[in-house]
Protein backbone atom coordinates (compact mmCIF):
# COMPACT_ATOMS: atom_id res chain seq x y z
CA UNK A 1 0.00 0.00 0.00
CA UNK A 2 2.85 2.35 0.81
CA UNK A 3 4.53 1.61 -2.52
CA UNK A 4 1.28 2.31 -4.34
CA UNK A 5 0.81 5.66 -2.58
CA UNK A 6 4.40 6.65 -3.24
CA UNK A 7 3.89 5.83 -6.91
CA UNK A 8 0.78 8.00 -7.04
CA UNK A 9 2.55 10.95 -5.50
CA UNK A 10 5.44 10.61 -7.96
CA UNK A 11 3.14 11.00 -10.97
CA UNK A 12 3.06 14.71 -11.65
CA UNK A 13 0.40 15.99 -14.07
CA UNK A 14 1.73 17.07 -17.44
CA UNK A 15 2.16 20.75 -18.15
CA UNK A 16 -0.18 22.40 -20.62
CA UNK A 17 2.67 23.39 -22.91
CA UNK A 18 4.01 19.84 -22.89
CA UNK A 19 0.63 18.41 -23.89
CA UNK A 20 0.24 20.95 -26.71
CA UNK A 21 3.77 20.28 -27.93
CA UNK A 22 3.12 16.54 -27.88
CA UNK A 23 0.02 16.98 -30.05
CA UNK A 24 1.97 19.11 -32.53
CA UNK A 25 4.75 16.52 -32.66
CA UNK A 26 2.22 13.77 -33.37
CA UNK A 27 0.84 15.74 -36.33
CA UNK A 28 4.37 16.42 -37.60
CA UNK A 29 5.28 12.73 -37.38
CA UNK A 30 2.29 11.77 -39.54
CA UNK A 31 3.15 14.46 -42.10
CA UNK A 32 6.80 13.38 -42.18
CA UNK A 33 5.94 9.72 -42.76
CA UNK A 34 3.44 10.67 -45.44
CA UNK A 35 5.96 12.94 -47.18
CA UNK A 36 8.54 10.15 -47.14
CA UNK A 37 6.03 7.81 -48.76
CA UNK A 38 5.24 10.45 -51.39
CA UNK A 39 8.97 10.87 -52.10
CA UNK A 40 9.35 7.12 -52.63
CA UNK A 41 6.59 6.94 -55.25
CA UNK A 42 6.94 10.41 -56.79
CA UNK A 43 8.10 8.91 -60.10
CA UNK A 44 5.19 6.49 -60.25
CA UNK A 45 2.85 7.44 -63.07
CA UNK A 46 -0.47 6.45 -61.48
CA UNK A 47 -2.40 8.62 -59.03
CA UNK A 48 -3.27 5.84 -56.60
CA UNK A 49 -1.94 7.85 -53.65
CA UNK A 50 -4.56 10.52 -54.31
CA UNK A 51 -7.27 7.95 -55.01
CA UNK A 52 -6.61 5.95 -51.85
CA UNK A 53 -5.53 8.80 -49.59
CA UNK A 54 -8.03 7.94 -46.77
CA UNK A 55 -6.78 4.34 -46.70
CA UNK A 56 -3.14 5.47 -46.71
CA UNK A 57 -3.75 7.90 -43.84
CA UNK A 58 -5.55 5.18 -41.87
CA UNK A 59 -2.72 2.70 -42.49
CA UNK A 60 -0.02 5.15 -41.44
CA UNK A 61 -1.97 6.11 -38.32
CA UNK A 62 -2.37 2.42 -37.47
CA UNK A 63 1.37 1.79 -37.81
CA UNK A 64 2.18 4.78 -35.61
CA UNK A 65 -0.47 3.72 -33.06
CA UNK A 66 0.87 0.14 -33.05
CA UNK A 67 4.40 1.16 -32.13
CA UNK A 68 3.50 4.01 -29.77
CA UNK A 69 0.18 3.90 -27.90
CA UNK A 70 -0.30 0.14 -28.14
CA UNK A 71 3.29 -0.65 -27.18
CA UNK A 72 4.24 2.15 -24.76
CA UNK A 73 0.94 3.70 -23.54
CA UNK A 74 2.00 7.03 -25.09
CA UNK A 75 2.07 8.71 -28.47
CA UNK A 76 5.30 9.51 -30.27
CA UNK A 77 5.16 13.14 -29.17
CA UNK A 78 4.55 12.11 -25.56
CA UNK A 79 7.51 9.76 -25.62
CA UNK A 80 9.74 12.58 -26.84
CA UNK A 81 8.56 14.80 -23.97
CA UNK A 82 8.61 11.98 -21.39
CA UNK A 83 4.83 11.78 -20.97
CA UNK A 84 2.49 8.82 -20.60
CA UNK A 85 -1.25 8.13 -20.47
CA UNK A 86 -2.65 7.32 -17.03
CA UNK A 87 -5.95 5.46 -16.66
CA UNK A 88 -8.07 7.82 -14.56
CA UNK A 89 -10.96 5.35 -14.25
CA UNK A 90 -8.93 2.64 -12.57
CA UNK A 91 -9.08 2.29 -8.81
CA UNK A 92 -5.34 1.75 -8.65
CA UNK A 93 -2.53 3.48 -10.46
CA UNK A 94 -2.18 1.89 -13.89
CA UNK A 95 -1.61 2.90 -17.47
CA UNK A 96 -3.99 2.55 -20.40
CA UNK A 97 -6.07 -0.61 -20.52
CA UNK A 98 -6.44 -2.76 -23.63
CA UNK A 99 -9.99 -1.52 -24.10
CA UNK A 100 -8.90 2.12 -23.98
CA UNK A 101 -6.16 1.47 -26.53
CA UNK A 102 -8.60 -0.16 -28.97
CA UNK A 103 -11.15 2.65 -28.55
CA UNK A 104 -8.39 5.20 -29.02
CA UNK A 105 -7.48 3.56 -32.34
CA UNK A 106 -11.12 3.42 -33.46
CA UNK A 107 -11.74 7.09 -32.71
CA UNK A 108 -8.45 8.23 -34.20
CA UNK A 109 -8.30 5.96 -37.27
CA UNK A 110 -11.61 4.32 -38.08
CA UNK A 111 -13.96 7.29 -37.57
CA UNK A 112 -12.08 9.68 -39.91
CA UNK A 113 -11.89 6.92 -42.54
CA UNK A 114 -15.65 6.29 -42.32
CA UNK A 115 -16.31 10.01 -42.74
CA UNK A 116 -14.14 10.17 -45.87
CA UNK A 117 -15.64 7.05 -47.44
CA UNK A 118 -19.29 7.47 -46.40
CA UNK A 119 -20.46 8.64 -49.85
CA UNK A 120 -18.63 5.81 -51.59
CA UNK A 121 -20.17 3.28 -49.22
CA UNK A 122 -23.68 4.59 -49.89
CA UNK A 123 -23.15 4.24 -53.64
CA UNK A 124 -21.67 0.77 -53.22
CA UNK A 125 -24.66 -0.54 -51.27
CA UNK A 126 -27.21 1.25 -53.44
CA UNK A 127 -28.37 3.67 -50.73
CA UNK A 128 -28.03 6.85 -52.74
CA UNK A 129 -31.63 7.77 -51.91
CA UNK A 130 -30.59 8.22 -48.26
CA UNK A 131 -27.47 10.17 -49.19
CA UNK A 132 -28.84 13.64 -48.45
CA UNK A 133 -30.36 12.59 -45.14
CA UNK A 134 -27.20 10.79 -43.98
CA UNK A 135 -25.00 13.70 -45.05
CA UNK A 136 -27.27 16.03 -43.09
CA UNK A 137 -26.93 13.89 -39.96
CA UNK A 138 -23.16 13.69 -40.41
CA UNK A 139 -22.98 17.46 -40.83
CA UNK A 140 -24.80 18.00 -37.53
CA UNK A 141 -22.62 15.41 -35.83
CA UNK A 142 -19.49 17.08 -37.15
CA UNK A 143 -20.72 20.51 -36.03
CA UNK A 144 -21.54 19.16 -32.56
CA UNK A 145 -18.11 17.57 -32.36
CA UNK A 146 -16.42 20.86 -33.29
CA UNK A 147 -18.33 22.67 -30.56
CA UNK A 148 -17.36 19.94 -28.08
CA UNK A 149 -13.71 20.24 -29.14
CA UNK A 150 -13.83 24.00 -28.55
CA UNK A 151 -15.42 23.61 -25.12
CA UNK A 152 -12.93 20.90 -24.19
CA UNK A 153 -10.03 23.12 -25.21
CA UNK A 154 -11.30 26.00 -23.09
CA UNK A 155 -11.66 23.67 -20.11
CA UNK A 156 -8.17 22.34 -20.80
CA UNK A 157 -6.72 25.86 -20.73
CA UNK A 158 -8.37 26.43 -17.35
CA UNK A 159 -7.69 23.10 -15.64
CA UNK A 160 -4.71 21.73 -17.57
CA UNK A 161 -5.97 18.17 -18.16
CA UNK A 162 -7.48 16.29 -21.14
CA UNK A 163 -5.95 18.18 -24.04
CA UNK A 164 -8.19 16.39 -26.59
CA UNK A 165 -11.81 15.26 -26.41
CA UNK A 166 -10.66 11.67 -27.01
CA UNK A 167 -8.66 11.76 -23.78
CA UNK A 168 -11.67 13.08 -21.85
CA UNK A 169 -14.01 10.53 -23.42
CA UNK A 170 -11.70 7.58 -22.65
CA UNK A 171 -10.64 8.85 -19.24
CA UNK A 172 -6.90 8.96 -19.91
CA UNK A 173 -4.67 11.76 -18.67
CA UNK A 174 -1.13 12.78 -19.59
CA UNK A 175 1.30 12.57 -16.70
CA UNK A 176 5.03 12.47 -16.11
CA UNK A 177 5.82 8.81 -15.33
CA UNK A 178 9.10 9.78 -13.68
CA UNK A 179 9.81 12.45 -11.15
CA UNK A 180 10.91 15.64 -12.85
CA UNK A 181 14.02 17.42 -11.74
CA UNK A 182 14.30 21.14 -11.19
CA UNK A 183 14.58 22.90 -14.51
CA UNK A 184 17.72 25.00 -14.61
CA UNK A 185 17.44 28.13 -16.72
CA UNK A 186 20.59 29.79 -17.97
CA UNK A 187 20.14 33.54 -17.76
CA UNK A 188 23.15 33.95 -20.02
CA UNK A 189 21.31 32.01 -22.70
CA UNK A 190 18.13 34.06 -22.11
CA UNK A 191 20.10 37.32 -22.37
CA UNK A 192 21.68 36.18 -25.62
CA UNK A 193 18.29 35.18 -27.04
CA UNK A 194 16.74 38.52 -26.04
CA UNK A 195 19.65 40.39 -27.59
CA UNK A 196 19.40 38.55 -30.91
CA UNK A 197 15.62 38.90 -30.89
CA UNK A 198 15.92 42.66 -30.42
CA UNK A 199 18.62 42.87 -33.09
CA UNK A 200 16.45 40.95 -35.58
CA UNK A 201 13.50 43.22 -34.84
CA UNK A 202 15.64 46.27 -35.58
CA UNK A 203 16.85 44.72 -38.83
CA UNK A 204 13.32 43.83 -39.92
CA UNK A 205 12.34 47.46 -39.32
CA UNK A 206 15.36 49.12 -40.95
CA UNK A 207 16.05 46.90 -43.99
CA UNK A 208 12.83 47.77 -45.86
CA UNK A 209 13.73 51.45 -45.50
CA UNK A 210 17.12 51.07 -47.24
CA UNK A 211 17.21 51.47 -51.02
CA UNK A 212 19.82 48.84 -51.88
CA UNK A 213 19.28 49.28 -55.61
CA UNK A 214 20.13 52.97 -55.38
CA UNK A 215 23.28 52.18 -53.38
CA UNK A 216 24.28 49.59 -55.97
CA UNK A 217 23.76 52.04 -58.82
CA UNK A 218 25.74 54.72 -56.98
CA UNK A 219 28.69 52.38 -56.50
CA UNK A 220 28.50 51.28 -60.13
CA UNK A 221 28.56 54.88 -61.35
CA UNK A 222 31.44 56.00 -59.16
CA UNK A 223 33.63 52.94 -58.71
CA UNK A 224 33.07 50.86 -61.81
CA UNK A 225 32.45 53.53 -64.44
CA UNK A 226 33.69 52.72 -67.93
CA UNK A 227 36.43 54.94 -69.21
CA UNK A 228 35.51 54.54 -72.86
CA UNK A 229 32.38 56.15 -74.27
CA UNK A 230 30.37 54.64 -77.09
CA UNK A 231 29.50 56.93 -79.94
CA UNK A 232 25.85 57.50 -80.72
CA UNK A 233 26.57 56.69 -84.33
CA UNK A 234 27.56 53.13 -83.47
CA UNK A 235 25.24 50.33 -84.41
CA UNK A 236 22.51 49.84 -81.81
CA UNK A 237 23.03 46.71 -79.67
CA UNK A 238 20.14 44.23 -79.52
CA UNK A 239 20.78 42.86 -76.01
CA UNK A 240 19.56 44.53 -72.81
CA UNK A 241 22.26 46.72 -71.29
CA UNK A 242 21.12 45.75 -67.77
CA UNK A 243 20.39 42.01 -67.80
CA UNK A 244 22.23 41.08 -70.99
CA UNK A 245 19.30 39.08 -72.35
CA UNK A 246 16.97 39.54 -75.26
CA UNK A 247 15.06 42.76 -74.47
CA UNK A 248 11.42 42.24 -73.51
CA UNK A 249 9.32 45.19 -74.69
CA UNK A 250 12.52 47.09 -75.71
CA UNK A 251 13.00 50.66 -74.52
CA UNK A 252 15.56 53.42 -75.15
CA UNK A 253 16.75 56.45 -73.20
CA UNK A 254 18.59 58.34 -75.94
CA UNK A 255 21.79 56.33 -76.10
CA UNK A 256 22.63 53.55 -78.59
CA UNK A 257 21.65 50.83 -76.11
CA UNK A 258 18.46 48.86 -75.60
CA UNK A 259 16.75 48.01 -72.31
CA UNK A 260 14.00 45.69 -71.16
CA UNK A 261 10.94 47.61 -70.02
CA UNK A 262 11.07 46.22 -66.48
CA UNK A 263 14.86 46.60 -66.22
CA UNK A 264 14.94 50.31 -67.03
CA UNK A 265 11.66 51.17 -65.30
CA UNK A 266 12.50 49.39 -62.03
CA UNK A 267 15.99 50.91 -61.86
CA UNK A 268 14.66 54.41 -62.56
CA UNK A 269 11.92 54.05 -59.93
CA UNK A 270 14.52 53.01 -57.37
CA UNK A 271 17.07 55.61 -58.41
CA UNK A 272 16.06 58.71 -60.48
CA UNK A 273 19.77 59.34 -61.08
CA UNK A 274 20.18 56.00 -62.80
CA UNK A 275 22.47 55.99 -65.85
CA UNK A 276 23.13 53.53 -68.62
CA UNK A 277 25.62 50.97 -67.26
CA UNK A 278 27.50 50.91 -70.59
CA UNK A 279 27.83 54.56 -71.57
CA UNK A 280 26.66 56.47 -68.44
CA UNK A 281 23.83 58.19 -70.33
CA UNK A 282 21.52 59.78 -67.76
CA UNK A 283 17.72 59.93 -67.67
CA UNK A 284 16.62 63.55 -67.08
CA UNK A 285 12.95 62.66 -66.91
CA UNK A 286 10.78 59.57 -66.98
CA UNK A 287 9.40 60.70 -70.34
CA UNK A 288 12.85 60.08 -71.80
CA UNK A 289 12.21 56.36 -71.47
CA UNK A 290 10.52 55.61 -74.76
CA UNK A 291 9.42 52.61 -76.75
CA UNK A 292 12.14 51.53 -79.15
CA UNK A 293 11.14 52.07 -82.79
CA UNK A 294 13.15 50.28 -85.41
CA UNK A 295 13.27 51.88 -88.82
CA UNK A 296 13.75 49.50 -91.70
CA UNK A 297 14.94 51.18 -94.89
CA UNK A 298 14.69 49.65 -98.32
CA UNK A 299 18.01 49.13 -100.03
Q: What single string gives the DSSP state of each residue in 273-296?
A: T-B-TTT--B-SSGGG-EE-----
Question: Do 245 and 160 belong together in one domain?
Answer: no
Question: Do 140 and 231 belong together in one domain?
Answer: no
Question: Do 165 and 227 belong together in one domain?
Answer: no
Question: Do 156 and 51 belong together in one domain?
Answer: yes
Distance of CA 296 to the CA centre of its chain: 55
Question: Do 43 and 164 belong together in one domain?
Answer: yes
Task: Establish if 185 belongs to a structural domain.
Answer: no
Task: Establish if 80 belongs to a structural domain.
Answer: yes
Residue numbers of the domain that contains 263: 212-291
**pLDDT for 8:** 46
Distance in angstroms (rounded) separating the CA atoms of residues 229 and 261: 23
Question: Do 18 and 146 belong together in one domain?
Answer: yes
**pLDDT for 151:** 93
Is residue 296 within 8 Å of residue 277, measured between CB atoms?
no
- Residue 221 half-sphere exposure, CB side, CA atoms within 13 Å? 14
Count other C-beta atoms under 10 Å from residue 30's C-beta. Answer: 15
**pLDDT for 104:** 93
Task: Establish if 157 belongs to a structural domain.
Answer: yes
Question: Do 216 and 122 belong together in one domain?
Answer: no
**pLDDT for 11:** 77
Domain final residue, candidates 155, 176, 197? 176
List CB contacts of 168: < 8 A, sequence separation 6 or more.
Answer: 152, 162
Task: Establish if 260 belongs to a structural domain.
Answer: yes
Q: What is the pTM of this model?
A: 0.55
Long-range contact list for 91-97, CB < 8 A, 24+ apart?
92/4, 93/4, 93/7, 93/8, 93/11, 96/69, 96/172
3-state secondary structure of 176: strand
Question: Do 136 and 280 belong together in one domain?
Answer: no
Task: Establish if 189 belongs to a structural domain.
Answer: no
Give the per-residue SS3 of 5-57: HHHHHHCEECCHHHHHHHHHHHHHHHHHHHHHHHHHCCCCCCCHHHHCHHHHH
Question: Do 170 and 250 belong together in one domain?
Answer: no
Question: Do 155 and 11 belong together in one domain?
Answer: yes
Task: Establish if 206 belongs to a structural domain.
Answer: no
Number of domains in the chain: 2
CATH number of the domain that 285 lies in? 3.30.40
Task: Establish if 194 belongs to a structural domain.
Answer: no
Provide the residue-wise pLDDT of the chain in tens; the chain has 299 residues: 444 444 444 578 888 888 999 999 999 999 998 888 888 877 776 677 778 888 888 999 999 999 999 988 899 999 988 899 998 888 887 889 899 999 999 999 988 888 888 777 777 766 777 777 877 888 898 899 899 999 999 999 888 889 998 999 999 999 988 776 555 556 666 677 778 888 888 888 887 787 777 777 777 777 765 544 444 444 445 788 888 888 888 888 888 888 899 888 888 888 888 888 888 788 888 888 888 876 655 54
Question: Do 12 and 63 belong together in one domain?
Answer: yes
Question: Do 126 and 260 belong together in one domain?
Answer: no
Distance in angstroms (rounded) separating the CA atoms of residues 153 and 286: 59
Distance of CA 161 to the CA centre of its chain: 28
Amino acid sequence: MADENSKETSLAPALRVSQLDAAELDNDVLLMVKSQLAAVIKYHQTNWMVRYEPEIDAFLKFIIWKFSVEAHDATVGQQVLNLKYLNERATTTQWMSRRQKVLYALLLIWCPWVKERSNDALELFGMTSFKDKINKYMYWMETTLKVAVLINFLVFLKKGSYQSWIERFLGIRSVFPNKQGIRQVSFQYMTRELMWHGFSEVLFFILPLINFQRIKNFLSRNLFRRTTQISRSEERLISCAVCGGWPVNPQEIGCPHVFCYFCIKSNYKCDPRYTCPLCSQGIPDEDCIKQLVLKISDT
